[in-house]
Chain A
């Protein structure tokens, strides 16, 4: 039956009806044919027996009166019997009394064999033989041998079979037509249902309904389908209403969200601006890597550096200048001077540490270590000194500078929880500061170790080193110091 799965319901129903009915019709036909054959055979036997009895009885008088001619005349009367081959009458001594062969049987030239008197009915070749004793009033007068041809029976059977085959074909044809029409009773409503389902799936119109035309299972199916559509439609209406409400609420919400988003955006922008300012401020106060580390949550930063350089630049006699001028002018002066130093520091990648009054402090090799820290700080110091050469205040007062340099190990970092400042600690810082304070106006003084480092660097070609000699440095004792200046001087 799985073969039928790929076919339509219409085809399946037709196939089932035909597969059920055709074998039944065929069996019925075969049964009828066999039954007919048996009936015809029985009829042939019965008719032959009856005829032989009647003829025999009619011949009994002729036998009694030994009237062969009369007997023959009696036998002639049997000529209309269609299936008869011949009829022969025997006396009680089994001597042939008389024999009659119909004209049509003469043409067939059927040979005659004396009958077996023991069997009353037997077949011989294509003929049925009936041997009946002729009695009258309990007295036997002879025998009648009646032969019937099966040809007649076979001819009748052939006609019957042809008729049955024709009838079978007509029945199958009618069955097919009826199956074709009957299957519509089931397939048509199903197809109608399928079409409507398809239309609904395309259009989404659940308000459609099927017209119930019968009260059978199909009608029940339609009714339930209509109920389902009603429920779906009702749900759809409710859903659409809910969607509408939600949409409306959503729109309102979106509007609110939009407003809120705009507000937040503004807030964010403001916050971002503040953050930027904060970051900028932080970056102004602290080196970028240190600022990032602090932002990430690091509380105490105290990094040890094996090698770094520090520069101190100081305005000579700033106290005297301050006494001559207003504080505002002093502040403006310092701002102008330090801004220039900031630019030069930035140019050479130095990290400005802080200003202490009139002193400007910067370092190289921190917070990111670099191998040329001596070179860049020396070049910065030379450029700062060159830049500020002949620098005058707005009042016309000439400003002079002293610069001190040193290099060596230091600790750099941020300590405390408020008012962060990136600062340096170590002996080298003090030494550098002493190089400035114990220096010469307009000169850049450095330690011997700084000089040695500088001599090994590539910048030595651009820088000229001049030994100052041994100097008593406060807190340090006698130190051999050196002046550096541009090689072009």
Chain B
């Protein structure tokens, strides 16, 4: 009887872990897909673009990569704004370079201000998934509301950058109006 109970408990535990991992997998699949969909409603100004701007759309993931290979797999087939997508992973602020999108991982919580200072004068869209990042100056931040993946936008931070964001995106986002670390 006790054996049966242990087997049942282990079965439940395994299934629960599976479900959690599947949910996590779905969440990052969505986030990966959302990164491309954000770009549909954002325009980058031609200034301060790298020479490769006509060829590639570069996404840099800074910090501990939570996507695994999802970004590579997804964007190996999908273009963003008709451009081939380059995914670059780094943990060094100095290696951010002239990308179009910067995903700031939760592990960069302690260095967030430095990251933001680094990209503040550049034409880079910053995205994060950590609570409080948006208030500090990140442009877009994912959050879970109920079972839905939602995002918040720091409108003032976007306005201060050289990016143009669609009102539609703003209408569907939770708006944060702080200027962050400035």
Binding site for B on A (CB under 8 A): 57-58, 60-62, 64-65, 67, 69-70, 136-137, 139
Cβ B171 vs Cβ A61 within 8 A: yes
Contact A58 B171 (CB under 8 A): yes
A70 cross-chain contacts in B, Cβ below 8 A: 148, 172
- Complex contacts, A58 vs chain B, CB 8 Å: 168, 171
User: When the two chains form their complex, are residues B34 and A65 in contact, meaning their CB atoms are under 8 A apart?
Assistant: yes
Chain B min CB distance to A231 (Å): 92
- Chain A residues within 8 Å of B171, by CB: 58, 61
Residues of the A chain whose Cβ atoms lie less than 8 Å from the Cβ of B172: 61-62, 65, 67, 70
Q: A92 CB to closest chain B CB, in angstroms?
A: 14
A416 to chain B, nearest CB (A): 161
Question: Are the C-beta atoms of A136 and B40 separated by less than 8 Å?
Answer: yes
What are 10 residue pairs bridging A and B, where the CB atoms are less than 8 Å apart in the complex? A58-B168, A60-B168, A64-B37, A64-B40, A64-B41, A65-B34, A67-B148, A136-B40, A136-B41, A136-B166
- A67 surroundings in chain B (CB, below 8 A): 148, 172
CA distance A136 to B171 in the complex (A): 14
Give B133-176 as 1s and 0s: 1 = Cβ < 8 Å from A's Cβ atoms.
Answer: 00000000000000010000000000000000010110110000
- Interchain CB contact under 8 A, A136 and B34: no
Give, as a whole number of angstroms, the nearest-CB distance from B156 to chain A. 21
If the complex has contacts A136-B40, A137-B40, A139-B40, are A61 and B168 also in contact, measured as CB distance less than 8 A?
A: yes
Shortest C-beta distance, A479 to chain B (Å), equals 184
- Beta-carbon contact of B148 and A61 below 8 Å: no
Determine which residue in A60, A62, A139 has the highest number of CB atoms from chain B within 10 A of its CB, and name it.
A60
- Give the shortest distance, in Å, between B42 (CB) and chain A (any CB): 11
Question: What's the least CB distance linking B28 to chain A, in Å?
Answer: 15
Interface of A (DSSP majority class): helix
Residue pair B168, A69 in contact (C-beta under 8 Å): no
CA–CA, A291 and B148, complex, Å? 165
A-B contact count (CB 8 A): 27
Chain A CB within 10 Å, residue with most, of B37, B41, B172: B172
With the chains together, A58 CA to B41 CA distance in Å? 13
- Having A69-B148, A136-B40, one finds 8 other A-B pairs with CB under 8 Å, namely A61-B169, A61-B171, A61-B172, A65-B34, A65-B37, A67-B172, A70-B148, A70-B172
Chain A residues positioned under 8 Å from B169 (CB to CB): 61
| Complex Cα spacing A391 to B169, Å | 186
For B148, list chain A residues within 8 Å (CB): 67, 69-70
Cα A60 to Cα B148 in complex, Å, equals: 17
How far does the alpha carbon of A148 sit from the alpha carbon of B19 in the complex, in Å? 44
Nearest-CB distance from B182 to chain A (Å)? Answer: 28
Most B Cβ at <10 Å: residue of A57, A58, A65, A69: A65
- CB contacts under 8 Å to A, within B109-125, are none
**A136: chain B residues within 8 A (beta carbon):** 40-41, 166, 168
B18-62: which residues lie under 8 A (CB-CB) from chain A?
A: 34, 37, 40-41
B34 to chain A, nearest CB (A): 6
| C-alpha spacing A61/B168, complex, angstroms | 7
Q: What CA separation (Å) do A268 and B114 show in the bound complex?
A: 168
Chain B's closest residue to A65 (CB) is B37
- Determine the residue in chain A with the shortest Cβ distance to B145: A69
Contact partners of A57 in chain B: CB under 8 A? 168
Q: Closest CB-CB distance, B107 to chain A, in whole Å?
A: 26
Q: Which B residues are in CB contact (< 8 Å) with A64?
A: 37, 40-41
- Smallest distance from the beta carbon of B151 to chain A beta carbons, Å? 9
Closest to A139 in B: B40
List B contacts of A137 (CB < 8 A): 40
- Closest residue on chain B to residue A62 by CB atoms: B172
Q: Name which of B40, B41, B169 has the most chain A CB atoms within 10 A of its CB.
A: B40
Q: Cα distance A137–B40 when bound, in Å?
A: 8
B37 / chain A contacts, CB cutoff of 8 Å: 64-65
CA distance A137 to B37 in the complex (A): 12
CB contacts (< 8 Å) of A139 on chain B: these are 40
The answer for the CA separation of A67 and B145 in the assembled complex, in Å, is 13
Query: Cβ of A65: which chain B residues have Cβ within 8 Å of it?
Result: 34, 37, 172
Chain B residues with CB under 8 A of A69? 148
Asked if B34 contacts A61 (CB within 8 A), the reply is: no
A70 to B37, CA, bound (A): 15
Instruction: Give the complex CA separation of A57 and B166 in angstroms.
Output: 12
5 residue pairs, one from A and one from B, having the closest CB atoms: A61-B172, A64-B37, A61-B168, A65-B37, A69-B148
Residues in B whose Cβ lies below 8 Å from that of A60: 168
The CA of A466 and the CA of B171, in the complex, are separated in Å by 186
- Which residue of the partner chain A has the closest CB to B37? A64
Q: How far is the CA of A416 from the CA of B163 in the complex (A)?
A: 170
Assembled-state Cα–Cα distance A69/B34 (Å): 16
Nearest-neighbour CB distance to chain B for A44, whole angstroms, equals 26
The residues of A that contact B41 with a CB separation of less than 8 Å are 61, 64, 136
**Inside 8 A of A61's CB, which chain B residues have their CB?**
41, 168-169, 171-172
For A73, the closest partner residue in chain B by CB is B172
Tell me how far the C-beta of B180 lies from the nearest C-beta in chain A, rounded to whole angstroms: 24
CB of B155 to closest CB in A, whole Å = 16
CB distance from B170 to the nearest CB of A (A): 9
How many angstroms between the C-alpha atoms of A57 and B171 in the bound complex?
A: 11
Tell me the smallest distance from the CB of B116 to a CB of chain A, in Å.
25
For chain B, residues 47 to 94, give those with C-beta under 8 angstroms from any C-beta of chain A: none
Which of chain B's residues has its CB closest to A141's CB?
B40
Measured CA separation A339–B140 after assembly (Å): 184
How far is B37's CA from A62's CA once the two chains are assembled, in angstroms?
Answer: 11
